[in-house]
Chains A and B, each alone.
Chain A
Amino acid sequence: MARIGVVTFPGTLDDVDALRAVRLCGAQAVTLWHASDSLDGVDAVILPGGFSYGDYLRCGAIARFAPIMDEIIAAADKGMPVLGICNGFQVLCESHLLPGAMIRNEGQRFVCREQKLRVESNDTTWTCAFGSGDEISIVVKHGEGNYVCDDETLARLRDNQQIVFRYIGNPNGSRDDIAGVTNERGNVVGLMPHPEHSVDPLVSNSTDGRAFFASVQSFLAARV
C-alpha cells in the first residue's frame, strides 16, 4: 500500500482532512512534523492548506525554511510526488520547486466556494487519472491565491505543458486563469483549490478530488 505523508506546520489547518482523504482513497496516511528531518519512508508528500506561521512575512515564506523542507526538496529533486494545496502551493513556490508566486486576490476578498476547473495536463503524478480537458469541481478558499509570474515564465509554462489546471471563472485574478502548475518533471504539483475537501459526498457536492489520490497511487504502483 502506498504511504502518503502529510506535513503539519504551526498554523496548518487542513492536515487532518488531507490525511482522511488519503485513507478514504485507499492509501496509508502518514503524519509528518515540520520540525522533523525525516520523511519516515513515505512514497509521496502532501503540503496541506492553512496559514503556516500565521502567514507572517509572506504566505509560506517561513514554512519554506522548516527542517522537513530540506528533505522534501531533496526528495522532489529525485522524483518523489509532492502535492501542495493552497498554503502548500505557496510553500512550494517559496521553495522554488514551482515557478511563480501568489499575491492577494485581485478583488481583495477572501473567496470560499465550489470552483469549476479545467484539467489542462494529465501528464503529472497527481493528475494522470484525469482526462486532459476534463471539467471538474473542487472547493476553493483563500485570500491570497492570485498567481503571478513574468512573461518569460508564462511562455515556458505554456510551452512545457506545465499549466495543470485553469479556473473556469477566475475567482482571484490569477494570470492566464492559472489554478495549478507543475515542475518540468511533472512530479511536483501545486494548486490553490482543495481536492481533499472534495472526496466525500456527505460534505461535498463533488468527489472530483479523489482522482488526485488515485493518480498518485497508480503512478506509484506502476513505478514499483
Chain B
Amino acid sequence: MIDQPPGATNVIETFQAAKRYGRTWALRDCTLTIPHGRVTALVGPNGAGKSTLLHMAVGLALPTAGRIRVLGSLLPGSDEALARIAFVAQDTPLYPNLSVADTLRFVANLSPRWDEHRARTRIAELGIPLARKIGNLSGGQHAQVALAVALARHPDLLVLDEPMARLDPLARHDFMAVLMAAAAEDGLSIVLSSHVVAELERVCDYLVVLAKGHVQVVGDVEQVLATHRVLVGATRDLDALPPSVSVVAEQRADRQTRLLVRADRQSPVPIGWQSEPTNLEELVLSYLRSPQATTLPGPSGDAIRVSA
C-alpha cells in the first residue's frame, strides 16, 4: 500500500488529454498522474468532466486530443487493460432481469481473472439469495453486488463513478468499509469520483479536483493540506496584505474575512491575521469557488503554479 513495490507505476497518466462532445469541451488540457496503491478522490461539480476522464481511463471514450495511459503504459481498452481494470459506472448498472447467480456467470465469462469463490463468499456474507433478481434488490444491496462483482474480477485498478450517490448513510458506510478492506487486503488502487466531499476525507489519500473541464488540484491529500492555511482577519486589513500572500479564495463578510492561502505552518503570518489549518472539504470548496486558481505539481515536483 504505502510502500510501492519496485517498478511501481502510475495507474492513470494523462498528457494534455481533451475530450469534445459536439461543440462542448468536456475536458481540456488535462495533464495528471495518479500513482499506484492510492485511494484517489476525483471531485468537482456536476459537469466538471469527472465521468469523461474516468470513461477515457477505462476505454469507454477516446480522447479527442492528447494522450492517456493506464497501469504503466497500457492503452485504455486494450485486452490487458480491460482484464486488469474494473469499472463501476454511475448508479452501478446491472441487468435488472438477471438473477444474482446469472450476473456472476455473465461477468465471469468476460473476466480472465475471475475469482468465483470470492464472489460467492461475499454474496453469502451479504445474505442475498443467489436466485434473487437484481431488480428486486434494495439500493444498498444493488451497490454491494456491483462492488462484489467488480472485486471478484481481481482488478489492479478499480474505478468507481459516483458509487454512493443514491445510498443512505448506513449503506454508504458499509460500501466504503468493503472498499477499504479490499484496499488493505489486496493493495489495489482505487479511483472514485464524487461530488460529496465530506465523506471522502477519511477514505482518500490522493486528490484530483476538476472544474469546468480543467484540472485544479492534483496531489497527496496530506501534502495538499499541509501547504494550505486559512487566514482569518479583519476585512478592512485586506488591502494591506503583502503581495507575497498567495490567495486561493476569499470569503468576505463586512468585518471578518477568511482566506485560503498557499502557505505552510512555518510561513510568516501577516500582522493582525490568524493562521489556522484547513480541512479537505474547505479546501476543495474554496478551489471550486475560484475556478481560475490551480495548484499543480510543477517540473520540480512540488513547485506551485499560480494563476489567479
B and A form one assembly: no
- B residues apposed to A, CB below 8 Å: none
- A residues apposed to B, CB below 8 Å: none
